[in-house]
């Protein structure tokens, strides 16, 4: 395969162990920019993306997310940056808002990989920010609009070798 973009898309993997070193501001900026350029329904640009590097806030988000899973631990695998993706009232419907935010998250995962960063999609953003503590964090961050959590991601320098599971048969059908 000669296409570098396709190679990057196929080789991106979830990273579940991170170095403690924080990513650079330039790396973060590039990842976030990829997110805001994701496609959205009718060009509404409905996602709200929040990058969290404050370790107290990350600890709280980890606790809330782990609690939703019924576990103790680091739901974000010790990543020094967490990115949260919401949709706003700009979305035409809830369904479209979810798709818009998911596209933004996917763009950022791929951008992180292109920059040599590790990332991992994490669910439970909706549930975390429906809690009173989650709502208080949004208020603390100055988010006064109605938002719905869709996805989040761990982001940092990888401290593990990625691995690829074999792809399952039958995932694609071509009809001519």
pLDDT for res 167: 84
pLDDT for res 10: 87
Q: What one-character DSSP code corresponds to residue 166?
A: P
Instruction: Give me the residues of the chain with pLDDT under 70, please.
Output: 1
State how far the Cα of 58 lies from the Cα of 175, in Å rounded to an integer: 46
Strand boundaries in 23-140, DSSP class E: 47-52, 81-88, 118-122
The CATH architecture that domain 21-156 belongs to is 3-Layer(aba) Sandwich (3.40)
State how far the Cα of 162 lies from the Cα of 101, in Å rounded to an integer: 25
Q: Please check whether residue 154 is in contact with residue 97, taking contact to mean a CB–CB distance below 8 angstroms.
A: no
Q: Output the six-digit token pair for 55.
A: 């370790």
The 3-state DSSP composition of the chain as helix, strand, coil percent (nearest 5) reads 40, 20, 40
pLDDT for res 139: 97
Q: Please check whether residue 128 is in contact with residue 61, taking contact to mean a CB–CB distance below 8 angstroms.
A: yes
State how far the Cα of 109 lies from the Cα of 32, in Å rounded to an integer: 10
pLDDT for res 66: 93
pLDDT for res 1: 63
Helix (H, G, I), strand (E, B) or coil at 164: coil
pTM of the model: 0.93
pLDDT for res 26: 98
Cα 175 to the center of its chain, rounded Å: 33
pLDDT for res 2: 87
């Amino acid at each position: 395969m000669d296409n570098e973009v396709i190679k990057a898309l196929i080789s991106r993997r979830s990273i579940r162990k991170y170095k403690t070193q924080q990513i650079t501001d330039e790396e973060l900026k590039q990842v976030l920019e990829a997110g805001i350029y994701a496609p959205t329904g009718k060009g509404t640009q409905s996602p709200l993306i929040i990058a969290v590097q404050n370790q107290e806030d990350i600890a709280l988000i980890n606790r809330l997310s782990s609690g939703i899973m019924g576990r103790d631990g680091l739901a974000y695998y010790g990543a020094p940056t967490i990115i949260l993706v919401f949709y706003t009232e700009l979305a035409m419907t809830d369904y479209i808002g979810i798709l818009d935010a998911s596209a933004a998250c996917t763009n950022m995962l791929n951008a992180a990989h292109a920059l040599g960063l590790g990332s991992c999609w994490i669910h439970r953003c909706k549930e975390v920010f429906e809690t009173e503590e989650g709502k208080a964090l949004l208020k603390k961050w100055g988010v006064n609009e109605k938002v719905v959590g869709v996805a989040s991601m761990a982001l940092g320098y990888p401290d593990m070798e990625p691995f690829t599971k074999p792809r399952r048969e039958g995932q694609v059908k071509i009809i001519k």
